[in-house]
Each structure stands twice: as structure tokens, then as C-alpha cells.
Amino acid sequence: MLADFGASVVMVEPPGGSPIRALAPSGRDGTSILAAYVLANKQSVVLDIEDGGQRELVRGLIGRADVLVSSARPSTLARLGLGYAGLRQPSLIMAHVTPFGMTGDLAEAPGNDLAVAALSGWASINGLADREPLKPSGWQSSFCAGTAAYAAILAALHHRDLYPGEGQEVDVAEVEVMAAAFAPAMLGAMYSGEGRGRRKEIDMTGGPVPVADGYFALTISRAHFWRDAMNLLGLTDLAEDPRWEASYYRAAHKDEYVHRVEAAMREWNKMDLFDELAGRRVVAGPVLTMEDLAENDHLGGRGFWTKPTEGQTSIDYPGPSFRMSETPWELRNSAPSPGQHSNQMESGT
């Protein structure tokens, strides 16, 4: 994100390349797809941080940096003399992004998205009650923590803008970012006195249910959504009974309607149902696959998919997560090969 919004970001990789480059799945040329995604717009230099001489080069790079981002454990930084205090660079903003944070009894423990999903509460509410809890799909803890760390770095930059020379250290733990995202479920459990738990069954109140050609979520919030959706589905008695307009009432008596509504939904194709409900300004969600999204008219109309201006330029990459009128996101380069920019560093540019 720093690179996408204009910063010059130099990634220091060990000999053999960053471990992310070894993660499956790979594209046809054997490169890791995750690496292709998250290393875009960066420059790469290969340096062996365990080697004293090369570590001095790393310190030289840090000396020219506004921001240093590290995922190393505290003991590793201490051993290498790369802790914040040891760097003696008061204007530097150093952000740590680790699974469990830089202090406490888990600071040195191995962690990943799965462990964070478990420790943050999220796994306890994803999935079905009679099966194993589910982590969020993909790399959600990593992306959320990365985004939060980006925000924290910008907040620290803001402080430094106002108080020149005042850098600081920022500690971002994946588990704590995901706990912040879990806050509604946690306070809900406090107020209700009962665990939220996982769903006992799949029905329309909790997410997608089958329609003729796929799956579709009709998760009703406001009263008019309910009325308009029930009328469209031909369930006029449900539409007209005002008791159903209150969300707490619908939640308490769902057995009286879900089977009828789901049966009516199965008569529809997902995009037809979506178009009709959208026209009535009712929230509704067809389950879209990556194939659907690649061809999605709306994303196309927004110009979401983006080709890099340099490097691997024929591929549509995902675009920005937000659009800024004055300082737009930009995809300049596809991911560098390991050490692609080492020569530039050596020549001092």
C-alpha cells in the first residue's frame, strides 16, 4: 500500500528470495501468485542480513529511510542489533507487523493466519456448529494487519509532519487487529450472556442459500427490504404482516418463514434476482466467483482491473481498495525478481 500510493519501497530479501516466493499456488512460469500480488511496485535487493558486512549495507539503507517495516521477532532484531533503540535514528518510523506483537509470552512464538483466526475469536463463529470452526478464507489476518499497519505508519507520518524529527516505533499484532474486527461479536456475547457460536444450519438468515444457478444471500436489515423482497418473491402474506418488519422479531421466529422464502428463491437465477432486487433498492448478494468478477460489468465500468505500466503488462491485477481524487493509487511495476535492483543500490542511486 505504501508503494501503491507513491512511496519508494525497497524490499530486502535474503539470498534465495523472500519465503513468500515459495508459497503455492504458482503461475504458469512457476512464480508464486501471492508474491506477484503483494510484491508489485516494490524494488528488491538481496542481502544476507546474517553477514556482518552486508548487514552494514542494510543499515545504510535504513539510514536513508523514512519508514522501516519489519516482521522479525524481538530476539532476532536484538541479535542483529537492528532494534529501534539501537538504530539511533529518532526521525525513523519503525513498524512491526507480527502475529502476536513484540511483547508478552507469545512474542517469539510461531504464528500464522490460522493461529490468529483461532486466537482472535473469528474461528469460533465461522462455519457450522457440528463441524470444525473455520478460519476466514485466504490471508485475511495478514491483509487486515497489513492495512492497519499502513494506517498506523501514516498516523505516525502525520505526527512527524507536525513535529519534524519525531519518529517512533509502532507495534501491530495480527491477533489484535482481528480482535478489533471481532469487537461487535465480543460485546454482543457480553450483553447477551451467551456465546455467539457457529450456525446450526445454513439458511437465508446467515448467508447464501441455493438458487437455480448458484447461491444467493438475501440478508435483510431494513423493513422495506423485507416488504419489497417478499412481494417480488410472491409471498405477499409475509410482506403485509407488519410484525416481520422488525429485525429482532424476524430473528426470533425465523422457522416460520425461511423454508418458504428459500423455496421461492430457488425458482430464480442469481443475476436475475439481483437485478430485480437492486431495482427495488433491496440489499442482495449473488455469490460471485473470480470468473464472474473478472467479467463483472460494474467492476469493468469502474475501471477496477488494472494492468501494470511496466513489467508484466498483459495481466489484469486487482485495482485499489479506495480511490483518492488527488493522490491516486498506481500500479507501476509487476513484482521484481529477487535482487533486481541490487545494482542500483550498489551504484548509490
Partner 1 sequence: MNGPLAGIRGIVLTQAWAGAFCTEMLGLLGADIVQVEVRKRPDSWRGDYHAPMAKMLQGIPTAEHPWNCNALYNSVNLNKRCITLDLQTPEGLDVFKRLLPFADVVAENFSPRVLGNLGLGYDVMKAINPRVILCSLSAYGRGGPWENVPGIGGTIEPTSGMSALLGYPDGPPMNSGQMYPDAVAGLHALSAILTALHHRNRSGHGQYIDLSMQEANLVQIGDAALEYQLTGSVRGRMGNRHHTFAPHGIFRCAGDDRWVALACESDDQWGGLCVAAGHDDWRSDPRLAMNDARKANEDALEATINVWTREWDRDALVAHLRNAGVTVAPVLTAQELAADGRLRERGVVVEVGHDEAGRWPQVASPLHFSRTPATDVRPAPLLGQHTAEVLSELLGMGRADYEQLVAEGISGMGPPD
Q: Tell me which residues in 148-177 interact with partner 1 (CB under 8 A).
A: 148, 150-152, 154-159, 161-162, 166-173, 175-177
Q: Which of 207, 269, 276, 330 binds partner 1 (CB under 8 A)?
A: 207
**Which residue of 25, 30, 53, 348 would you call a contact of partner 1, by CB under 8 A?**
25
* Interface with partner 1, residue 192, by CB under 8 A: yes
**Least distance (Å) from partner 1 to the CB of residue 82?**
16
254 binds partner 1 (CB under 8 A): no
User: Does residue 110 touch partner 1 according to CB under 8 A?
Assistant: yes
Residue number, 4 or 13, with CB nearest to partner 1: 4
* Among 188-196, 231-239, 259-267, 336-344, the segment contacting partner 1 (CB under 8 A): 188-196
Distance of CA 191 to the CA centre of its chain: 29
| Contact in structure between 338 and 17 (CB atoms under 8 Å) | yes
From residue 16, how far is each of 61, 109, 218, 337 by CA, in Å?
20, 24, 48, 11
Q: Which is nearer to partner 1, 278 or 346 (CB)?
A: 278
Q: 313-326: b or e for each residue (b if 16 or more CB lie within 10 Å)?
A: eeeeeeeeeeeeee
Tell me whether residue 38 or residue 238 sits nearer to partner 1 (CB atom).
Answer: 38
Give residue for cell 522501516: 68
**Cα(197)–Cα(127) distance, integer angstroms:** 9
Q: Which of 118, 258, 269, 330 binds partner 1 (CB under 8 A)?
A: 118
- Report 2-21 residues binding partner 1 (CB under 8 A): 5
Site string for partner 1, 209-228 (x = CB under 8 A): -x----xxx-x-xx------
Task: Kindly give, in sequence order, each residue whose CB lies less than 8 Å from that of residue 349, ignoring residues fewer than 6 positions away.
Answer: none
Using alpha carbons, select from 85, 99, 107 the residue that is nearest to residue 167. Answer: 85
Candidate residues 116, 211, 264, 273; the one interacting with partner 1 per rule CB under 8 A: 116
Name residue 44's beta-bridge partners.
Answer: 11
Per-residue buried b or exposed e for 251-270, using 16+ beta carbons within 10 Å of the residue's own CB: eeeeeebbeebbebbeebeb
The three three-digit cell numbers of residue 292, written as one number: 464472474
Closest to partner 1 by CB, 57 or 282: 282
Among 77, 82, 87, 111, binds partner 1 (CB under 8 A): 111
Q: How far apart are CA 169 and CA 97, in angstroms?
A: 11
* Cβ contact 286:216 at 8 Å: yes
Of residues 42-71, which lie at the interface with partner 1 (CB under 8 A)? none
Torsion 232-235-237-239 (CA) sign: negative
Pick the stretch among 46-54, 56-64, 68-76, 101-109 that binds partner 1 (CB under 8 A): 101-109
# residues contacting partner 1 (CB under 8 A):
146
Q: Tell me how far, at minimum, the Cβ of 294 lies from partner 1, in Å.
A: 6
Question: Is the CB of 230 or the CB of 345 nearer to partner 1?
Answer: 230
Residue number, 22 or 344, with CB nearest to partner 1: 22
For partner 1, the closer CB: 166 or 346: 166
Nearer to partner 1, 10 or 119 (CB): 119
Q: In angstroms, what is the minimal distance from the CB of 261 to partner 1?
A: 15
Confirm if 48 and 15 have CB atoms less than 8 A apart.
yes
In the set 53, 322, 347, 349, which binds partner 1 (CB under 8 A)?
A: 322
DSSP character for 244?
A: G
Write out the H or E segment, with its range, that includes residue 170. strand 168-173
CB 144 within 8 A of CB 181: yes
